[in-house]
Structure 1
Amino acid sequence: MSLHHILKDLQSHSDSKKGKQYKTFFRESYTDNKDRFLGVALPLQREIAKRHPELSYQDFQKLLNSDIHEYRMLAGILLVNRYRGNEFEREKVFEFYVKNMKKFNNWDLVDVTCDKIIGNFLLNKKKKRKFLYELVKSKNLWEKRISIVSTFEFIRNNEFGDTLKLSEKLLNDKHDLIHKAVGWMLREVGKRDEKVLLDFLKTNYNKLPRTTLRYSIERFPEEKRKEMLQGIFK
């Protein structure tokens, strides 16, 4: 199957009404370019990707260079699928992804891909995790989001240290998408070890953005959430 075939498949499912809705949902102010949207839902994009597994890295690059949002998402899904290959292929996908990180320039593009590629690649390579600590210092919003969301793979494997360290480094960040990402990862930590989450929140309460705190405690009962928002951790 060629790039032409997968684009034809994707275009055949375009929906101009949904495209306009997506344009509002994925704020243009977040991106360096003005995205165009076909209006193809994510589950359908995943189905299309399954039908076209054999694209080349040259094809991936063409998709990522596009200003059409779904093209870049499709490239991300295809890379995640390709990453499931052997060790050589995984390293190749990782390097390609890192080279093209700035192309994943919206929250959905980051969240669908980075933990499954960067996070998984670094899971058993602890010495190489310093890469995440370089990303967290970036001035690029998406690289910072990648640094924290990639740790979701560590969390799934009950490793919380890097998530907590990176979260602490991001507490003074001003962007709401970073506040939300940190809160999300902390919530995932709390699902697995409530004490670890509560200790972190208690220690850092005075520095926590309210959005981060709210996201991190969503699963608690309402009365307990009210107490936590006031800095009361029992």
Structure 2
Amino acid sequence: MSSILKEIKEALAVLSIPEKAVFFPKFFKTGKGEYGEGDLFLGVKVPDQRSVAKEYYSKISLKELSELLSSKYHEHRLTALFMLISKFEKTKDLSIREEIVEFYLNHLSHVNNWDLVDSSCYKILGRYAYETKKENLLRDLSESEEMWHKRIAVVGTMHYVKKGSFELTKEFVTRNLKHPHDLMHKANGWLLREMGQKNGNELIHYLNKYYTEMPRTCLRYAIEKLDEEVRQDYLKGRI
């Protein structure tokens, strides 16, 4: 193990909170058959992980990040992703950004819980796809059989939504509208809600076409910011 990796792991270990180490496995569903099965936790809060990442991101190599991102401990992986995001955001060199995107895609098997996905995918993959017009990077993931890949794709379009571009979000939500997993229902509804925050007419138009087909969780997330009367109209099928 390199000295930098040792320092990072020791820094996270010092920040471990025993009560959190007990709570997190339940919160992130690590039991047998659950989506986070087998994941291990140190018990470090996210702000503390961000602080560690801020201190070390410029000092750690991608090779060392690969080892950290491959860790069995959840906080090691999330801290690694925070550092990867910083490396991506702090450089304007396209070749370095391409190297980081390739690294991210090659390590998707370790981006395997909703917080790991949601914290990283749109800041790295979504932004890169938008800026280089390489939507197929996300589209290929949306068509994958792997649930985490599908979530990376739709949440990755958050960067598009923030820029006022909605077609890719609608495409991915529609493709996986009836996915069996609740985590996809939540992600789809979340991105539709964010689209509505940017352009209410876009959301209403999409809802009017698809709301009767949506899983209830997806619909509730999507309409969360609408006026209560309108929310009830959708929930009760009065549109």
Under TM normalisation by the shorter chain, which class is it?
over 0.9
* Structure-2 residue corresponding to 1:90: 97
Matches within 5 A, 1:195-214: 195-214=201-220
Deviation of 1:5 after TM superposition, in Å, equals: 0.9
Distance 1:101 1:201 in 2: 31
1:44 maps to: 48
Q: Does 1:30 align with 2:32?
A: no
Runs of 4+ in structure 1 deviating by more than 6 angstroms, as ranges, are: none
Counterpart check, 1:134 vs 2:136: no
Name the residue aligned to 2:74.
69
**8 Å Cα contact 2:12-2:52 kept in structure 1:** yes
Aligned equivalents of 1:204 and 1:105: distance in 2?
29
Residues 100-115 of structure 1: pairs in structure 2 closer than 5 A: 100-115=107-122
Match of 2:199 in 1: 193
Aligned residues: CA RMSD: 1.2
Higher mean alpha-carbon deviation, 9-18 vs 218-227, is at: 218-227
Give the structure 2 partner of residue 227 of structure 1.
Answer: 233
Displacement of 1:119 in angstroms is 0.4
Structure 2: distance between partners of 1:200 and 1:69: 36
1:228 CA drift (Å)? 1.3
1:202/1:231 contact within 8 Å kept: no
- Give the superposition deviation at 1:68: 0.4
Partners of 2:211 and 2:231 lie apart in 1 by: 13
Partner of 1:18 in structure 2? 20
TM-score of the two chains, using structure 1 as the length reference:
0.95
SS at match of 1:82: helix
Q: What pairs up with 1:137-176 in 2 under 5 angstroms?
A: 137-176=143-182
- How many angstroms apart in 1 are the aligned matches of 2:60 and 2:143? 34
Q: Give the Cα separation in 2 of the matches to 1:11 and 1:46.
A: 14
2: CA distance, partners of 1:201 / 1:16:
44
Shift of 1:223: 2.1
Q: Offset at 1:206? A: 2.4
Whole-angstrom distance in 1 between the partners of 2:69 and 2:142: 23
Amino acid at match of 2:12: L
Counterpart residue type for residue 48 of structure 2: L
1:13, CA displacement in angstroms?
A: 0.5
Q: Structure 2 stretches of 5 or more lacking a match?
A: none
Q: Deviations over 1:97-151 (max 9, x none)?
A: 001111110000000000000001011222x212222211212111010010000
- Deviation string 1:59-83 (CA, Å, 9 cap, x unpaired) is 1111111110000001110100010
Contact 1:16 1:39 in 2 (8 A): yes
The CA deviation at 1:202 is: 0.7
Number of positions where the alignment pairs a residue of Structure 1 with one of Structure 2: 231
Q: Is the 8 A contact 2:211 2:234 kept in 1?
A: no
Query: Matched residue of 2:217: which SS?
Result: helix
Aligned sequence identity (%)? 37
